[in-house]
Amino acid sequence: MTNYDVIIIGGGPGGYLAAERAGQAKLKTLCVEDRHLGGTCLNEGCIPTKTLLQSAKTYAHALHGEAYGVRAEKVSIDQSAVIDRKEKVVRTLVSGVGAALKASHVDVVNGRGVITGRSAEGVTVQVGEELYIGKNLIVATGSVNAQPPIPGLKEALDSGFALTNRELLSLRESPARLAVIGGGVIGLEMAAYYQLTGTAVTVVEMLDHIAGPNDPDLVKILHRNLEKDGMEFHLGTKVVAVKDGAVVCEKDGKTFDLPADKVLLAIGRKSNSARLGLENIGVELEKGAIVTDAHMKTNVPGVYAVGDVNGKFMLAHTAYREAEVAVNTILGKADTMRYEAIPSVLYTVPELSSVGLSEAEAKAKGYEVSVVKLPMQYSGRYVAENEGGDGICKLVFNAKRGTLLGAQVLANASSEFIIAAGIFIELELTVPEMREFVFPHPTVCEIFRDALAQYKGR
């Protein structure tokens, strides 16, 4: 039995960063991962998805280059080569995570970690036949795909007709027709790749809109753009069964078959808290997620939870920050997790980025709201780089104080500058203070400067 200052179960973004920070702080650290370092994000989520989307955008630029005075003949996309590149990118980054942990003197064990008990020495974790004791434990086991009890779905997943993002990201032959169950982040990003590369994509969503809780003003424009590119949608529609070659849908009391060559299950994810042995030490759960406070502490002393497993914000960058807060708390350093200005990005074409409160959320919280909406055409660089683009920037202000509550931007590259609005929100700057910042020109992010200039107050 080996003793550690910190044991981390899970080697995804929250887990490996917590391990790296703990190791750098000279804590004796163990990271336990049952699959691959990097977790879902690096191996079958964020990174591979964006790698595929880059290939799709490159293909689309070549295919439609005439709008920019560029003509190419016989443009094609090689799906197998796209997957080869994706796997190369993943290998490179996973290797980098391993090297960083090694440089931080972190011990890494491959296997499933199960909590077996707790004593005065700490929490005991079993991996295979080996036992480890940690004075502190950080649970960072992420999330798993939610699988609803749809008749025929399990059989379809077993046969390979239905796929999760894990399998779809490794397909070496693109399906002619793809049915996507779920119009949220995962569904739309994968739909965007396959639509851009020639697959006929149909998205089935139970809600009357796509893109989940994103601002309706931007979602309507995104929906229009995706339809213009050929994507089809069945909104307000429930999938009632999956059978060979089709998804059975129901809308307004009527059922119909949606033919498909492959089906993507993308209805969301749930915290991966099962079979960890949490009950052996009495860790509190709420709807399957580990309950944590602002210091990432659970109800059990010395036990922390970061990332998707705590169910707060299922985003890799949230896990990174939570990991730092947890390790700082273990080290006795004052640190607190704040969730008011966490950016969120939907990596479709165009990208939909947001931070803080939407207009509806701000009003629901009782704020007196002032809103500025500005077409992206105010940005010279945006116009230069997006022929026919119809993006929009929306800023939501606290009208009483003249501070920024939220920002939503629909435009390519918006993921690269949404953090500026997040900083404004975090620092609670007033409009005059925000106006003093100098943005480089020409850049797409200048849209914030232009939008601030439009603010009239109460």
Residues marked as catalytic: 441
Relative to beta strand 143-145, strand 232-235 is unpaired
Query: Pairing relation of β-strands 200-205 and 177-181?
Result: parallel
Q: Which of 10, 34, 6 is nearest to 306 (CA)?
A: 10
Assess whether the previous peptide bond of 148 is cis (omega < 30° from 0). Answer: no
Tokens found for residue 53:
């989307």
Where are the strands (E) in 224-335, listed by range? 232-235, 238-243, 246-251, 254-259, 262-265, 269-271, 285-286, 289-290, 303-305
Amino acid at 360: A
**CB–CB of 262/178 below 8 Å?**
yes
| 27 class by beta-carbon count within 10 Å (0-12 exposed, 13-18 middle, 19+ buried) | buried
| CA triple 61-263-43, angle to 5 deg | 65
Q: Whole-angstrom Cα distance, residue 155 to residue 161?
A: 9
Angle between helices 185-196 and 46-63 (to 10 degrees): 30
